[in-house]
Amino acid sequence: MRDETQCCTSKLISKRRLLGSYRALHAPPGGLAHLPLSGVLYRQPIYREATMSRNPQKQPFPESFLPLPPPTFHILLALADGELHGYAIMKGVTARSEGTVRLGPGTLYGALKRLLEDGLVEEAGERADPEQSDERRRYYRLTSLGRSVARAEAERLDALVRAARRKKLLGVRPA
């Protein structure tokens, strides 16, 4: 037991010495005394803040959400036509994909929750035609940011398809 404690203590002391020598070599003129001495050095995240700081309204750029997971893109595509409730979104995705994509309720409502939190989708308030709505259902619609994100993802996928065609991976029938 004593050997383990001594071993761990010596490793910690070695780590601190190493970190101290690193600090001494790379210290700015004012020194690093204000920073805590820890065993791990972290890099500051620069990309998201740099991207966000150039935007005067502090709105996220549509490209910051890309690439979208396929179920999320299918949901945004379904909502591009107008307000829909959850079951109509599931049916629309299945019809649009000719049955190749089927969203289950867990996938659908989990994705809708994230889309609501990110501000890409919002719950619709009053229905234009109360005769056609069901009070128990929640209707969702795209926000302007959601429409921009869907457009950016469609453009990204279009660029990939064009690259695949240039490489003759699409549009050419094998002999």
Domains of the chain, start order: 68-166 (1.10.10.10)
The pLDDT-based confidence of 92 (bands split at 50, 70, 90) is: very high
Comparison of pLDDT for 170 and 173, the residue scoring more: 170
Tell me the angle at which helices 144-166 and 70-79 cross, rounded to the nearest 10 degrees.
120
- Residue 52 has a pLDDT of 44
Rounded Cα distance, 148 and 15, in Å: 49
Question: Which pLDDT value is given to residue 121?
Answer: 97
**Where residue 6 falls among pLDDT bands split at 50, 70, 90?**
low
Weakest-pLDDT range from 48-57, 59-68, 116-125, 163-172: 48-57
- pLDDT tens-digit map of 73-84: 999 999 999 999
H-type alpha helices, 46-85: 47-53, 70-79
* pLDDT tens digits along 47-63: 444 344 444 567 789 99
- Specify the higher pLDDT residue, 59 or 159: 159
